[in-house]
Amino acid sequence: MRTGIYPGSFDPVTYGHLDIIKRSRNICDRLIVAVARNSEKSCLFSSQERMELIQGCCGEFGDFIEVVAFDGLLVEYCRERKVSFIIRGLRSVSDFEYENPMAAVNRKLSPEIETVFLTSREETSLISSRLVREVAGYHSDVSALVPPLVAGKIRQKFPLGR
């Protein structure tokens, strides 16, 4: 069984994230969606809330995915969980410039774990969690960027039309 891991902050989970999860079914038998607990980053949602939102949006995937929270070095977590490869989504060249050095370091630390890049589909290539948070911060509608469950939770924090 080939297990992949899709790590990220997912703050919040977007249609772009869900597309990468869906397309991961083509390359692995099982996917761990790993929500990073990053104490240096100020998040809109707690790691528990982010996990619940991902689970709520991924019911169609059944046993294919497992949603977990983790901290520490990704490759160490991958070794513990017997992960074959890390899946990363790329929206732009700047994403590649950020991700490629991390993949190289991960390969140095754990040569047995591959990094696989999936490029975003055109319709999700401009969506980022940061953009969603910024739009929401102006009390604007984010429903074109995130699933309805997530949009509802965001509206609780940033009511529309203020």
Among the listed residues 9, 17, 84, 88, the single catalytic one is 17
What average pLDDT does this structure show over 136-153?
A: 95
Three-state DSSP class for residue 125: coil
Write down the catalytic residue from 88, 129, 133, 153: 129
139 in catalytic set: no
Q: Give the model's confidence band at 48: pLDDT under 50 very low, under 70 low, under 90 confident, else very high.
A: very high
> What pLDDT, in 10s, does the model give residues 27-44?
999 999 999 987 556 889
Cα distances from 70 to residues 6, 38, 54, 94, 141, in angstroms, run 12, 9, 15, 25, 31
- What is the reported pLDDT for 42? 81
List 22, 23, 79, 91, catalytic entry:
91
Sign of the C-alpha dihedral computed for residues 13, 16, 17 and 22 taken in this order: positive
pLDDT band at 69 (very low <50, low <70, confident <90, very high): very high
User: Annotated catalytic, 120?
Assistant: no
Residue 79 annotated as catalytic = no
Active-site residue, 91 included:
yes
Distances (CA, A) of 114 to 4, 9, 84: 9, 20, 7
